[in-house]
């Protein structure tokens, strides 16, 4: 059976998926997520720092070794918000190509939205009613409304867990005035979320959503089997946000289910999700462990799976 890999290079994390592919089906055999914070300081200088580049290249080098060990035939690598925005992203891509012989495709917000929707729609094929996919990243959040493998509407907004943490959170614990300013700006930006037709099911993908589910389940170790398709209620999310606001960063790092490397951005990511649920008048969402990296393999390996009229 053939093996392929996809790498999703984001503002906060770099993710690896190695899968066996047969008959339009993807069977994951290895997955890894590493918090690299490639976009650290991007909002202030507009550049990926040399230190962040070193961290990114080190992780990519390790991922390539894993792919060789697992006898992967081809690797597909994509970059999202951080590489779209950084003034020196071409320099980073050149370094990666020279040092690792790994080409990286920078995808647009439109393409990122499409791949997120594709990953979820292929996972829950039985649901034929409208779906809303929310992909909260470090630099941007994609909102995609679709039905039966067809995208109806979408938007990529410049609101992300790393971006807004750097822009608004300047105290530890978080001050009420800083938090209120952040909420107001999130609410202003998410006015553009597509809402018609009303979604039957809302699915959240990405590290923010899976971390919130992990905390709610009280997991000592990240467990995709328990997190994938977990239903997170708005009330439970509200309680988590109150907890994060009441604690210092060091105290948050001790919460079961919360990776210490995400402790500084989980309040912001969770707030983006909560305010979105409020706007959509949604009492609960489904959490998915799939995302862009799954969509990459579906798109590259199985053509014609989805209607891309609106993309």
Phi and psi of 164, rounded to 5°?
-80, -25
DSSP, collapsed to helix, strand or coil, labels residue 221 as: coil
Cα–Cα dist 267/254, whole Å:
15
Sheet holding 201-205, edge to edge: 150-157, 141-147, 131-136, 201-205, 284-288, 230-233
Q: How many degrees, rounded to 5, is the angle at CA 109 between CA 103 and CA 114?
A: 90
- What distance in Å separates the CA atoms of residue 282 and residue 278, rounded to the nearest whole number? 6
DSSP 99-140: HH---EEEPPHHHHHHHHHHHHHHHSTT--S-EEEEEE-SS-
Cα 145 to Cα 153: distance, rounded to the nearest angstrom? 5
pLDDT tens digits in sequence order for the chain, 311 residues long: 889 999 999 999 999 999 998 877 889 999 999 999 999 888 888 999 999 999 999 999 999 999 999 999 999 999 998 999 999 999 999 999 999 999 999 999 889 988 999 999 888 877 778 899 999 998 899 999 998 778 899 999 999 999 999 999 999 999 999 999 999 999 999 999 998 888 889 999 999 999 999 999 999 898 999 999 999 999 999 999 999 999 999 999 999 999 999 999 999 999 999 999 999 999 999 999 999 999 999 999 887 666 655 55
Q: Are 83 and 60 in contact (CB under 8 A)?
A: no
Q: Take residue 78 and report the two structure tokens written for it.
A: 């994509």
Q: How far apart are CA 161 and CA 139, in angstroms?
A: 7
Smallest Cα–Cα separation from 10: which of 38, 52, 41, 46? 38
> Two tokens at 261?
């490397």
| pLDDT value, residue 304 | 62
6-31 residue pLDDT tens: 999 999 999 999 999 887 788 999 99
pLDDT score, position 95 = 96
pLDDT of residue 153: 92
Residue 127's pLDDT is 79
Distance CA 2, CA 120 (A): 22
Length of the chain: 311
Token couple for 289 = 């462990």
**Cross-sheet strand order for the sheet of 13-22:** 25-35, 13-22, 2-9, 74-79, 104-106
Are 291 and 119 spatial neighbours (Cβ–Cβ below 8 Å)?
yes
pLDDT of residue 308: 57
């Amino acid at each position: 059976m053939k093996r392929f890999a996809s790498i999703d290079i984001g503002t906060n994390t770099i993710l690896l998926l190695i899968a066996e592919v047969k008959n339009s089906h993807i069977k994951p055999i290895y997955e890894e997520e590493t918090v690299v914070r490639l976009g650290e300081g991007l909002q202030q200088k507009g550049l990926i720092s040399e230190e962040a580049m070193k961290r990114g290249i080190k992780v990519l080098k390790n991922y390539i070794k894993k792919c060789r060990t697992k006898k992967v035939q081809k690797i597909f690598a994509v970059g999202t918000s951080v590489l779209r925005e950084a003034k020196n992203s071409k320099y980073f891509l050149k370094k990666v190509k020279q040092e690792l012989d790994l080409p990286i495709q920078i995808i647009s917000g439109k393409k990122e939205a499409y791949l997120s929707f594709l990953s979820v729609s292929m996972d829950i094929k039985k649901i034929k009613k409208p779906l809303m996919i929310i992909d909260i990243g470090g630099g941007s959040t994609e909102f995609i409304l679709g039905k039966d493998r067809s995208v109806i509407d979408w938007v990529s907004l410049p609101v992300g867990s790393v971006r807004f943490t750097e822009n608004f959170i300047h105290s530890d614990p978080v001050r009420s005035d800083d938090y209120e300013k952040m909420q107001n700006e999130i609410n202003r930006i998410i006015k553009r979320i597509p809402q018609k037709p009303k979604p039957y099911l809302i699915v959240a993908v990405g590290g923010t959503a899976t971390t919130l589910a992990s905390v709610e389940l009280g997991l000592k170790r990240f467990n995709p089997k328990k997190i994938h398709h977990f239903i997170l209620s708005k009330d439970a999310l509200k309680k988590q946000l109150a907890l994060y606001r009441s604690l210092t960063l060091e105290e948050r790092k001790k919460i079961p289910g919360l990776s210490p490397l995400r402790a500084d951005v989980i309040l912001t990511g969770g707030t983006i999700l909560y305010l979105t649920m409020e706007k959509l008048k949604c009492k609960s969402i489904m959490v998915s462990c799939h995302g862009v990296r799954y969509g990459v393999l579906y798109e590259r390996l199985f053509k014609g799976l989805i209607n891309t009229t609106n993309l």
